[in-house]
Structure 1
Amino acid sequence: MHLSGSITALATPFTASGDIDFSAWDRLLQSQIDAGTQGVVVAGSTGEANALTDDEYEALLRRAAGLVAKRIPVLAGTGLSNTAKTIELTRSAAAWGADAALVVTPPYVRPTQTGLIAHYRAVADDGALPVVLYNVPGRTGCDLLPATVAELAPHPRIVAIKEARPEPERMADLLALRGAGFAVLSGDDPTAARAMLAGADGVISVASNALPVAMRRFCDLARAGRRAEAEALDAELQPIFDFMGIEPNPIPVKAILARQGIGQGLRLPLTTLSATHAATADAMAARIAAIEGETAVAAA
C-alpha cells in the first residue's frame, strides 16, 4: 500500500437529537468519491472517535467500506492508550472492511520513545492491517520523534506517518525516511503545501471534508512541483485553514458541513461553534462554495 494525495479525515455527522446521521454520512462519503479524494479516515479525532459507541464505530466503518468498495483506501482510527486494546480494535477494523489502521501515539499515558517503538511494532507484528503512524503531540501529550520513526519505518507493515507538527525541520527529518514502502503525509492543512512541495506524499486533511475538489487540485499541483500554482491556491485556502482552527477540531469544520446540509451538531464535551463566529462561518461557507465551483470549472 502506498498512500498519497488528498486524504480526508472524515467528520461524523449527527442528527439534531445526537444520533449518527447515516444518510448524511453516505452523502459525505459520496461527495469525497465524486471529488477524487484519494483516501478517507473513519473514526479519527476529526470523526469524534472517543464519542462513538463500539456499535457506532462498527456501523460507520462497515458503511464506509461498502460505499467506497475498494476504490480508495479506507483508514480506520484504531489508536488507543493501551497496546492490547489497540491490537484488538485493529483486528476488528480489518474484519469490518478497513484497508489500513491510523494509529495515534497512545493518548495521555506519555510513553517513552522505547515504549512507542514496542507499541507500534506489536500492532504491526500482529498483522491485522497496515499501520500508519500518527503524531499529534498537541492532542496526545506525546511526541513521536524522527529517530523513533527511523526505527519503525523499515517494518514491512508500517506504511506511512501522518505528521501534524508544522515545523519545516520536522518534516525535513521525516522526508529523509521516505521510500517506496513508507509514505510521509502532512497532518496540518496550513503547512501542507510546503510539505508536499518538499516531497511529502500528501495530506490527511480536515478542510477537505468541506472542499474536496479544491483539496484534490491543491495536492495534485503541489505533488507535481507546480509551485506557483500550488502556492496561489494555498493562498486562497489559508483563510479557510485558519477558520478550521478558530475553535477545537472538529467544531469549525462541522459548522461548515452543517451549512452544506451535512449533520447538525457534536457530542459533549464538544459544543457547536460559538455564536460570535457565526458570521465568519457564513462567509467561509460562501468562500468554500465559490472555490469549489471555480476549481471544478478549471479542472474540467
Structure 2
Amino acid sequence: MRLHGLLSFPLTPFTDDDKVDLAVFAEHLEQQIAAGPAALFVACGTGEFTALALDEYRDLVATAVRGADGRLPVVAGCGGGPRMARDFAVAAAECGADGLLLLPPYLVTSTPGGLVEHVRYVASATPLPVVVYQRANAVLDEAAALALLDVPTVTGIKDGRGDVDAMLRLVTAVRTSGHPRAAGFGFLNGLPTAELSVQAYRAIGVECYSSAVLCFAPDLATAFHRAVERGDHDTVRLLLAEFYLPLVALRDRVPGYAVALVKAGARLAGLAVGGVRPPLVDASPEHVRELGRILTRGRAALATVVE
C-alpha cells in the first residue's frame, strides 16, 4: 500500500450532547472524496482517535468504508497500549478497512528495537497493511526501519517529527538496503500543516503528505498540491506567504489547535462538526474570526493564480 498524492485525515464530528454524528461524518467524507485524495485516514490524530470509544470507532470506520465504496483506500488509526492497539486493529479489519495507521504507544518510552516489537505485536493481529507513525515517543533509527521491512504487513512510515536529517537517513537506509520490499515501502510526510515542509521532504524522497487544510479548505489544499506537483514555485510561495504561514502562526498559539482550529475551519465552511473532546480546547471566538480572515486572504491570493 504505497500511496502517492494528497492524503485526507477527516474530522470526527460530535453532537451537542457528545455523540458521534455519523450523518455529518458521511457528508464530510463525501466532500473529502470529491477533492480527490489518495486515501482516507479515519479516526487518526485529526479524527481524535484518543477520544473515541471502541463502539464509536467501529461506527466511524464502517461508515467510511461504506462511503468510500471502493473508490479509494480507507486507513483506520489504532494505537495506545499494545492490547488496546490490537483490539482497535481487529475492529478496523472487521469493519472492512483497507489498512491501519499505528499511532505511538501510550506514554511508554522505549528503544527503537522495542518499538519494532510493539509494531510486530499489533501487526500480527490482522492481515491489514500497516503504516507506522513516527512521532513523540515513537522514534525509529536506521536499524529499526530496516527491521520493519521484515514485518510483512508493514508497508510504510509516516513521519511527524520534522527532523529532515533523521528522515533522510531512514529513507536512504531502506532504499539502498537491497531488501525485496524496499522499493514498495512508503514514506509519508505527516507533520502538522505538512505544506510547510513538503518541499524539504520531497527533496529526500518523501512525496506523499497529509493535509489538515483539506478538511476545511479543499480549494486551497488542492491548489497548493497541484502547484507543488507541477513545480510552480511562485504559486507555492504565494500560498505559503498569504495563507499557510499565517495559519501556522495562529495554530501554534494554543496546544491542540492542530485539531481544534481545523474543526473551527470546518464549521466556518458550514459543516456541523461540533467541538473537540477534552483535553483539547476549542478555538476561541477571537481566533475563529482570525482564521476567517486568513481564509479570505488565502482565497484572494488563489484568485490571482492562473493554473
- TM bin, normalised by shorter chain, reads 0.7 to 0.9
Out of 147-156 and 227-236, give the one that drifted further. Answer: 227-236
Give 2:162's aligned residue: 166
2:218 aligned residue (205, 208, 212): 212
- Percent identity (aligned): 30
**Secondary structure at 2:283's aligned position in 1?**
coil
**Secondary structure at 1:250's aligned position in 2?**
helix
Give 1:21's aligned residue: 21
Question: What is the Cα-based RMSD across aligned positions, in Å?
Answer: 2.4
Instruction: Write the distance in 2 (CA, Å) between the matches of 1:117 and 1:198.
Output: 23
1:184 aligned residue (187, 197, 205): 187
Instruction: Write the distance in 1 (CA, Å) between the matches of 2:74 and 2:297.
Output: 29
The structural deviation recorded for 1:267 is 1.5
Give 1:34's aligned residue: 34
The structural deviation recorded for 1:99 is 0.7
Give 2:121's aligned residue: 122
- Does structure 2 conserve the Cα–Cα contact (< 8 Å) formed by 1:38 and 1:73? yes
1:157 aligned residue (153, 156, 176): 153
Give 2:143's aligned residue: 147
Please show how residues 245-256 of structure 1 align to structure 2 within 5 Å. 245-247=252-254, 248=256, 249-256=258-265
Which residues of structure 1 form unaligned runs of 5+? none
- Does structure 2 conserve the Cα–Cα contact (< 8 Å) formed by 1:105 and 1:144? no
Instruction: Write the distance in 2 (CA, Å) between the matches of 1:126 and 1:219.
Output: 35
CA separation of 1:241/1:97 partners in 2, compared to 1, >3 Å: closer, same or farther? farther
Give 1:111's aligned residue: 110
Please show how residues 88-103 of structure 1 align to structure 2 within 5 Å. 88-103=87-102
- Does structure 2 conserve the Cα–Cα contact (< 8 Å) formed by 1:196 and 1:219? no
Q: Which letter does structure 1 place at the counterpart of 2:133?
A: Y
After superposing on structure 2, the runs of 4+ consecutive aligned residues of structure 1 that deviate more than 6 Å are none
- Does structure 2 conserve the Cα–Cα contact (< 8 Å) formed by 1:14 and 1:265? yes
CA separation of 1:59/1:45 partners in 2, compared to 1, >3 Å: closer, same or farther? same
Instruction: Write the distance in 1 (CA, Å) between the matches of 2:7 and 2:47.
Output: 14
**TM value normalised by structure 1:** 0.87
The structural deviation recorded for 1:48 is 1.2
Q: Which letter does structure 1 place at the counterpart of 2:80?
A: L
The structural deviation recorded for 1:228 is 5.1
- Does structure 2 conserve the Cα–Cα contact (< 8 Å) formed by 1:135 and 1:143? yes
**TM value normalised by structure 2:** 0.85
- Does structure 2 conserve the Cα–Cα contact (< 8 Å) formed by 1:5 and 1:216? no
Instruction: Write the distance in 1 (CA, Å) between the matches of 2:296 and 2:232.
Output: 27
Once the two structures are superposed, residues 95-141 of structure 1 have per-residue CA deviations (whole angstroms, 9 ceiling, x without a partner) of: 1021110001212011222211111123334443100000121xxx3
CA separation of 1:252/1:195 partners in 2, compared to 1, >3 Å: closer, same or farther? same
